[in-house]
Structure 1
């Protein structure tokens, strides 16, 4: 297995069924507060998981690492990448930037993100999210962070045309308890949480999940802590030659979901669109073309 292109979390999940009972106990301990739970000494990691030190050594080798040092080094790299601030990201890209135009460099990065993300997206996960969004009995809530809130709003704006019972939650966590109060078991909460993960997001996911809410997460390959509470998770590639992460792939998946949901119930969607257009007309929201 080539572990160089996957996170340690991905490797653990992929090999989980091959692990012994003690190794699974260790894996669950590592994933519980990933990646911080694996940054201590081998003895500390073993004690926290309630297993022996040799169990730790055997499992990391079974996962494809030469030893605990290489395993922990990978975790440190992932943590550093997940915490990268915009200035650090810009400086890293500037140092390694090829001598081509920024348009070409950015396009190459985005297309690479798209290729890698598409090769890793599980169609079963995608179809499962479509089924949740098509179920009109479920209310759907959308929330994002300081940057990703814009994608959450974009998703919500389209979905409220396609189906009823949709709510956009503010990025201000102070308003979240009132929304959770209105959520019923089986409702859907779509969360966008990209690296520099926002601390309150995991709290929201934990509380909502404990109340039977179905959580769908859009995150990156380093994976938001919200993932442990999510039923469905899209881990997308986001690197770009910029101080900011790229949202292109996330927007692509969102727009594909929108199309899948509206097509699944097109007759109803078309009727809602026609009604909405009539309301736009009454409100004179858009300019009308005039004959010359």
Structure 2
């Protein structure tokens, strides 16, 4: 299969979208609207469901870099399997192909590759727009994560709260979220983390926020959470490592990049806020002097 070495089918469509004809774009949009289900069917059924011809589908998948529809179909099935795989299945994948080198070397190589792929696939304009939104105090910023990503959400909250006012960290218990939703308004921003296995409660929260006119910023993995369909900005982070668990290193690096960009966006107001925060730390004597 001749594909981009770093792209999922969704990302390949985005990369090659400008090269597609109108009919090919029609199929591409149908696939994105029901991803990856619309492409799991046979080429005849997939074309009919999208209202295009079979040759149109065949030409589009070749433009994405696939030799033919079977390879395209197999790639979507592989993505679907990756989305639903648990820790045991993930370990089996890398363990069967693990080189003889030490785990530390394999881990370092995987993490480095994840970082490279993550930052290579970030659109600079989207990043700048998201950072500007996160820095803006015209609306309140809400931050939330899931079972694994709640630590990332807390990390992001701690830094954004130091940079700007009006930041709220939603608790890990979804039963309390209606209390936060009660105060959410049009123009507010929701920074949400969701990686495989994707969480239904996070998706519902994002849908409610989007319906209220909020700006939803999603940080997810390379397979992309369903929340991407309602997100104003969605960032994909590569997470696979030689482990039964996914890595948060590239995700954390993206968070730190967004924090740094938001800080610059608010400078010198952020500097003045940092100084006042240090004064409060001094008054409360929370930290030992060097």
TM-score (norm 1): 0.91
Q: Does 1:6 align with 2:7?
A: yes
CA deviations over 1:205-259 (Å, ceiling 9, x no partner):
2221122111111111111111121121211111111111111111111112222
Match of 1:271 in 2: 272
Residue 121 of structure 1 corresponds to 122
Q: Structure 1, residues 251-286: CA drift from partner, whole Å, max 9, x if none?
A: 111112222222333332232223223333333323
User: Once superposed, what is the RMSD of the aligned Cα atoms?
Assistant: 2.0
Separation in 1, partners of 2:248, 2:270: 27
Following the alignment from structure 1 to structure 2, what is the Cα–Cα distance between the partners of residues 60 and 106?
Answer: 33
Kept after mapping to 2: 8 A contact 1:117/1:236: yes
Residue 210 of structure 1: aligned partner? 211
C-alpha contact 1:195 1:224 (8 A) present in aligned 2:
yes
* Residues 1:104 and 2:105 aligned together: yes
For the Cα contact (< 8 Å) 1:33–1:225, is it kept in 2?
A: no
Distance 1:220 1:99, change over 3 A: same
Confirm or deny: 8 A CA contact 1:83 1:195 kept in the other structure. Answer: yes
1:191: Cα distance to partner? 1.1
Q: Which moved more, 1:226-235 or 1:280-289?
A: 280-289
- Are 2:218 and 2:227, in contact at CA under 8 Å, matched by a contact in 1? yes
Aligned to 1:71: 72
Q: Deviations over 1:77-99 (max 9, x none)?
A: 11112222111112222222222
TM-score by length of structure 2 reads: 0.91
Which residue is equivalent to 1:231?
232
Aligned to 2:255: 254
Aligned partner of 1:156 in structure 2 is 157
2:110·2:240 contact (CA, 8 Å) conserved in 1? yes
Deviations 1:130-158 (A, max 9, x none): 21122111211111110111101100011
CA distance in 1, matches of 2:286, 2:254: 29
- How far did 1:184 drift? 1.8
CA distance in 1, matches of 2:263, 2:43: 51
Which ranges in structure 1 are unaligned for 5 or more consecutive residues?
none
Equivalent position SS for 1:142: strand
Residue 175 of structure 2 corresponds to 174
**192-201 or 167-176, larger mean C-alpha shift:** 167-176
- With over 3 angstroms needed to count, the CA separation of the structure-2 counterparts of 1:278 and 1:48, relative to structure 1, is same
Give, in angstroms, the shift of residue 4 of structure 1.
Answer: 4.2
| Secondary structure of residue in 2 paired with 1:29 | helix
Q: Does 1:41 align with 2:39?
A: no
Which residue does 1:20 correspond to in 2?
21
Q: Contact between 1:132 and 1:138, CA under 8 Å: does it hold in 2?
A: no
Distance 1:16 1:128 in 2: 21
Cα offset for 1:288? 4.8
Give the Å deviation of 1:165: 0.7
Residue 63 of structure 1: CA displacement?
A: 2.8
For 1:86 and 1:243, the matched residues in 2 are separated by 4
The structural deviation recorded for 1:164 is 0.5
Structure 1 window deviating more from structure 2 (239-248 vs 260-269): it is 260-269
Q: In structure 2, what is the Cα distance between the partners aligned to 1:159 and 1:110?
A: 26
- In the alignment, the residues of structure 2 paired with residue 263 and residue 50 of structure 1 have an alpha-carbon distance, to the nearest angstrom, of 47
3-state SS of 1:3 partner: coil
Alpha-carbon separation, structure 2, partners of 1:81 and 1:187: 33
Structure 2 unmatched ranges of 5 or more: none
Distance 2:105 2:19 in 1: 43
Preserved contact between residue 162 and residue 269 of structure 1 (Cα < 8 Å): yes
